[in-house]
Structure 1
Amino acid sequence: MIEVDNIHKSFGDANVLKGISTCFDKGKTNLIIGQSGSGKTVFIKCLLGLFAPEKGTISYDGKIYSELSGSEQRNLRQEMGMVFQGSALFDSMTVEGNVRFPLEMFTKQSDSEMQDRVDFVLKRVNLIDAHHKYPSEISGGMQKRVAIARAIVMNPKYLFCDEPNSGLDPKTAILIDNLIQEITQEYNITTVINSHDMNSVMEIGEKIIFLKNGIKEWEGTNKEIFKTDNEAVTNFVYSSELFKKVRQMYLEERN
């Protein structure tokens, strides 16, 4: 679990995060949504320990990050996996090399132990025969699965995903959503996803945080979001034609 208590973050005179408090549970897919400039990226970078809030605390399973020593913070960051928006794979490395990279950097495992772990996670994301291919030789959806495999190869407690469906077709995006949710539940990971994809909200939004101008405007589930009267949320969510149709179906069933 990650607990956020009244965090504030500024850059010069710009107040980006303005007193956000929430919690992200283990074994659930937690989504952060909001328009561009709402503070989503800064928020997730604070959760990753890349930015230090000027006020407030962030706790990881009861441990307040700002109160940890430097070595304790480094150890905690090694328990975090990250899926970047553009996958961020190394072009000069094979799929296997990309996934193996964190193990070589941060562990003292033997070569055979690392190989077994790489084989395991690549199988888990359904990439059995891609070990020796390069990123340029595989599709965008496969690249995203490689990024997920690399993010979980260290068996993290916390998984962060920044726009994991960016650039993917709708069918592939749903497959990536389902994979992330399956892994989250299977390994009881605390997963936080930065997203603007309304399909993701519908499919895997077990908890949703809606940010507006650096403030937590609303939180709830993908079922509760249909019932909210919060105008900022409805204006954002129902800009999607798909959501408009689902909303209408919900209202018709309720009546």
Structure 2
Amino acid sequence: MIEVENIHKSFDDAHILKGITTTFDTGKTNLIIGQSGSGKTVFLKCLLGLFEPTEGKICYDGQNFSELSSQEQRALKEDMGMVFQGSALFDGLTVAGNVMFPLEMFTKLSKSEMEDRVNIVLNRVNLVDAHHKYPSEISGGMQKRVAIARAIVMNPQYLFCDEPNSGLDPRTAIVIDNLIKEITEEYNITTVINTHDMNSVMEIGEKILFLKDGLKEWEGTKHEIFKTDNEAVTNFVYSSELFKKVRQMYIEERN
């Protein structure tokens, strides 16, 4: 579990995050949504330990990050997996090489132990025969699965995903959403996903945090978001006619 208490973040005179308090549960897919400029990216970087909050605290399973020594902070960061927007694979490395990279950087495993671990996670994301291919030789959806395999290869306790469906067609995006949810449950990871994809909200939004102007405007589940009367949320989520119809159908079914 990640517990966030009264987080503020400022850059010079720009006050980006304005007192966010929330929790992200283990074994669940926790989504952060909001318009551009709402503070989602800054908030995610605070959770990753890349930005130090100006005020407030972030606790990882009871550990207050700001109170840890630099060595303890480094060890905690090694328990974090990250799926970057656009996958961020190394073009000069094969699929297996990309997935093995964190193991080579941060562990003392033998070559055979690393290869075994790479095989396990590539099999888990359904990439059995792609080990020797390069990123340019596989599809965008396959690249995203490689990025997920790399993110979980060190058995992280926390998984962060930044726009994991960016650039994917709707069908492939659903596959990636379901894969992230399955891995979250199987590995009992605390997963936090930064997204603007409302399909993701509807598919896997077990906990949704809606940010507006650096504030926590609303939080709830994918079911509760259909029922909220919060105008900022409804304007954001139901900006298209399709989602307006989906909400109306949901309300009618509940009645």
Q: TM-score normalized by structure 2?
A: 0.99
CA drift at 1:73:
0.2
Q: Distance in 2 between matches of 1:40 and 1:198?
A: 15
Instruction: Provide the rounded CA distance (Å) in 2 between the counterparts of 1:217 and 1:205.
Output: 16
1:202 aligns to what? 202
The Cα of 1:199 is off from its aligned counterpart by 0.2
Q: 1:129: Cα distance to partner? A: 0.2
CA contact (8 A) 1:99 1:150 kept: yes
- 8 A contact 2:227–2:251 mirrored in 1: no
Note the C-alpha offset of 1:254: 3.5
Tell me what 1:169 maps to: 169
- What SS is found at the alignment partner of 1:247? helix
Partner of 2:230: 230
SS in 2 for 1:244: helix
Q: Give the count of matched residue pairs.
A: 255
Kept in 1, the 8 Å contact 2:3–2:59? The answer is yes
> How many Å apart are 1:243 and its aligned residue?
1.6
Cα drift, residue 225 of structure 1:
0.3
Whole-angstrom distance in 2 between the partners of 1:239 and 1:3: 31
2:167 & 2:69 partners in 1: Cα distance? 39
For 1:41-63, what per-residue CA distance to the aligned partner results, in whole angstroms no more than 9, with x for missing partners? 00000000000001000000000
Match of 1:105 in 2: 105
Quote the Cα distance in structure 2 between the aligned partners of 1:242 and 1:64.
42
- Which residue is equivalent to 2:138? 138
Consecutive unaligned residues of structure 1, counting only runs of 5 or more, are none
Q: Could you tell me how far 1:246 is from its partner in structure 2?
A: 1.0
Deviating beyond 3 angstroms after TM superposition, the runs of 4 or more aligned structure 1 residues are none
Indicate the residue corresponding to 1:186 in structure 2: 186
CA deviation after TM superposition for structure 1 residue 245, in Å: 1.6
Partner of 1:66: 66
Q: Which amino acid aligns with 1:4?
A: V
* Kept after mapping to 2: 8 A contact 1:2/1:190: yes
Q: Secondary structure in 2 aligned to 1:16?
A: strand
Measured in 2, the distance between the counterparts of 1:191 and 1:235 equals: 26
- Give the Cα separation in 1 of the matches to 2:67 and 2:242: 45
Q: Which amino acid aligns with 1:5?
A: E
Aligned 8 A contact 1:163 1:195 in 2: yes
Q: Which moved more, 1:44-53 or 1:236-245?
A: 236-245
Unaligned runs of 5+ in 2: none
Q: Tell me the equivalent position of 1:243.
A: 243
Taking only aligned residues, the RMSD between alpha carbons, in angstroms, comes to 0.6
What does residue range 209-220 of structure 1 map to in structure 2 within 5 Å?
Answer: 209-220=209-220
Q: Secondary structure at the match of 2:149?
A: helix
Residue 20 of structure 2 aligns to a residue whose secondary structure is strand
SS at match of 1:219: strand
Amino acid at match of 1:223: H
Mapped to 2, the partners of 1:138 and 1:146 lie a distance apart of: 10
Q: Distance in 2 between matches of 1:74 and 1:204?
A: 30
Taking structure 1 as the reference length, the TM-score comes to 0.99
% same residue: 82
| Contact 1:25–1:190 (Cα < 8 Å) also in 2 | yes
Residue 242 (structure 1) shift = 2.9
Corresponding residue for 2:19? 19
